[in-house]
Amino acid sequence: MTLIHAGLLAISVLASSPPSDPLAGVWSGELATPGGPLALVMHISGAEDGGWTGSVDTPSQQSYGIPLSSIEFDGHALTVRCDLTQAIWTATLTEGGDTLDGVWAQRGVEIPLSCRRGQDLSPLPAALVQELEGSWEGTLDVGAIQLRIVMTLDAVSPTAMAGIMVSPDQSPAPIPIGRVEWAGDRAVRVLIGAIGTVFDARLAPGGATLSGSFTQRGMPLDLALKKVARVSETRRPQEPRPPFPYRAEEVSFPNTTAGITLAGTLTMPPGNGPFPAVVLISGSGLQDRNEEIFQHKPFWVLADHLARRGIAALRVDDRGVGGSTSTSTAANDTTFDFVTDVEAAVAFLRSRPEVSGGGLGLIGHSEGGVIAPLVAVKDADINFIVLLAGTGVRGDALLLRQGEAINRASGMSEDDIAAKSAISRALFDALMDESLQGDPLEARLHAIIETDPEFMEETSEAQEVALQAAIDKLTLPWIRAFLRHDPAPTLQRVTCPVLALNGELDLQVPHAQNLPGIAAALERGGNPDATTMMLPGLNHLFQHCETGLPAEYGRIEETFSVDVLDLIAEWISDRAATR
């Protein structure tokens, strides 16, 4: 989230503290940015440990409750840090005690910021705090998929609360809850500014359920949470369990090109080697080293299987995830930047004496299947690549077919599918027009989105928020680069052995479109060892499934088809043995 742009910035204290505390309270100010004034509201309250805790709001960005990482105050000088936005505010309290004057520094930009004390929030009733404290669990229906939501609310003082939220089907990473506000009676607002979310809820009599509207970026969804003594666990029988007949080593290594450090796990078969080895390359989005999704850990399952078959595997946190660092310009990263991460991983493996120089390869899933060939054509010493649901057509054609396949499997009528595809095609054409940049591009996208009847049925407020969210996403450098990239010319230049696998029921990378594209490109380039296979009954994650819809991923206990795991291991072993 970016704080510095036109709009309102607000920082607010979690709750009222005793008047004797000169810092606790609500402080409001305004940043003078190039895009116009940005108002800010900060909430700071005394914590039970004697320090302070707080959160910051940016109402114009529909973001409330961004947690403050640290607050240092000596009675005169103040330093506030917000790690989520990479911002630091240093200020001094004026003699009258009603103004904090200082400088807001964020990503190399410094702007004067003066905040005045405002009216404190109403403290949470202590009895309500006691009822709310604990873990709450429910399911959020977002249409194509259902996501479990777990909120853990903790008292930071007798009348103030914060906590964490986890969406375990998406990621195990905790999302901080900045604060909980009292809305009267048994109603509260749970503010999760890190993801632009507000949960307006009411605690039922008896305190067993917390139900209301879960609004993210202006889009409300019903959510009912139940208080639980223990968060439910999903069965994942393939998740590896100790003892392991191999070594697992936590590693880190530099990507000097990007100026970052990558962290991961290297699984090594027993013995001294040398062993064939692979780098596992994750799909799109921020993925951890296990490529965890819906509490499945496919890369861990794959690495475990390979290590048991005598093949070393390096799986790595994406930049900015887990132990891997990121750049200050992460929002501008594209597939081609991620190529350098894989190159750094390959260099690290080559530095290991246990790794066979003649048996080093890449396994890429989804977008990773786009990255692997890009690395292989730059590095003649890559010995083989495995493409799991890799793409064989240009990005715009892929995303159009993906949308049609998912909508069709979801039961949408052919007329509605055609209408949705026409809008997507118009958006993609605008994004692929290199002459359109900045405001003219946004204006074109705005006009196209407004032709969607579903969009026009929303309230004006919801339209405004949804429109900005859509444009922010569509104008990311990653999406524009992905739409324009045609993998065929790269595949045509790949000379090492290639195994390309796609599931029959993969709706995200449909096999009928992509496997022929991969095969044709490899054949044009004269690749002497290329295998493409459609695998019956499998989805994008290589699970046995019924429809292939993403909504099934979390309901399926299987993480990765054992037959496919065996196929990959045998194919790699055969290639490594010939070198």
CA distance 317 to 281: 10
- Count other C-beta atoms under 10 Å from residue 450's C-beta: 11
pLDDT digits over 44-90, tens only?
Answer: 888 777 788 888 888 777 778 888 989 999 989 999 999 888 899 99
Whole-number pLDDT of residue 579: 53
Strand stretches in 284-366, DSSP E: 312-316, 355-365
Structure tokens at 288: 């951890």
Find tokens 């078969």 and name the residue.
269
pTM metric for this prediction: 0.79
Instruction: Provide the 3-class DSSP secondary structure of residue 98.
Output: coil
Radius of gyration (C-alpha) of the chain in whole angstroms = 26
Whole-number pLDDT of residue 20: 60
CA distance 180 to 559: 37
Outline where 313-413 has alpha helix (H).
Answer: 335-350, 368-378, 395-409
Structure tokens at 4: 């510095």
Structure tokens at 436: 């359109």
Cβ-based burial of 353 (10 A; exposed 0-12, middle 13-18, buried ≥19): exposed
CA distance 297 to 239: 7
Structure tokens at 101: 């004057």
Whole-number pLDDT of residue 534: 98
Whole-number pLDDT of residue 577: 64
Who contacts 190 (Cβ-Cβ below 8 Å, separation ≥6)? 65, 151, 153, 177, 180, 198, 199, 201
Structure tokens at 256: 């000097």
Structure tokens at 416: 């509605």
Outline where 89-217 has alpha helix (H).
Answer: 126-132
Q: Do 125 and 146 touch, CB atoms closer than 8 A?
A: no
Cα–Cα distance list, 153 to 141, 158, 175, 186 (Å):
22, 13, 12, 15
Who contacts 501 (Cβ-Cβ below 8 Å, separation ≥6)? 386, 387, 388, 389, 532, 533, 535, 542, 564, 567, 568
Whole-number pLDDT of residue 6: 27
Domains identified in the chain and CATH numbers: 10-117 (2.40.128), 126-228 (2.40.128.120), 247-393+486-577 (3.40.50.1820), 396-482 (no CATH)
Encode the chain (579 residues) as per-residue pLDDT tens digits.
233 322 223 333 333 333 467 888 899 998 887 777 888 888 888 877 778 888 888 877 777 888 898 999 998 999 999 988 889 999 999 988 899 999 999 877 899 999 999 877 788 999 999 999 999 999 998 766 788 899 999 998 888 888 999 988 877 788 999 889 999 999 999 999 888 889 999 999 999 999 999 988 767 889 999 999 998 888 999 999 999 999 999 999 999 999 999 999 999 999 888 999 999 999 998 899 999 998 899 999 999 999 999 999 999 999 999 999 998 788 899 999 999 999 999 999 999 999 987 799 999 999 999 999 999 999 999 999 999 999 999 999 999 999 999 999 989 999 999 999 999 999 999 999 989 888 899 999 989 998 888 787 777 777 777 787 888 889 899 999 999 999 999 999 999 999 999 999 999 999 999 999 999 999 999 999 999 999 999 999 999 999 999 889 988 999 999 999 999 999 999 988 655
- Cα angle 545-551-555, degrees, rounded to a multiple of 5: 60
**DSSP-assigned letters across all residues of 218-279:** TEEEEEEEEEESS------TTS--SS-SSEEEEEEEEETTTTEEEEEEEEE-SSS--EEEEE
Rounded to 5 degrees, what are φ and ψ at 63? -125, 120
Torsion of CA 562, 564, 567, 571, to 10 degrees: -130
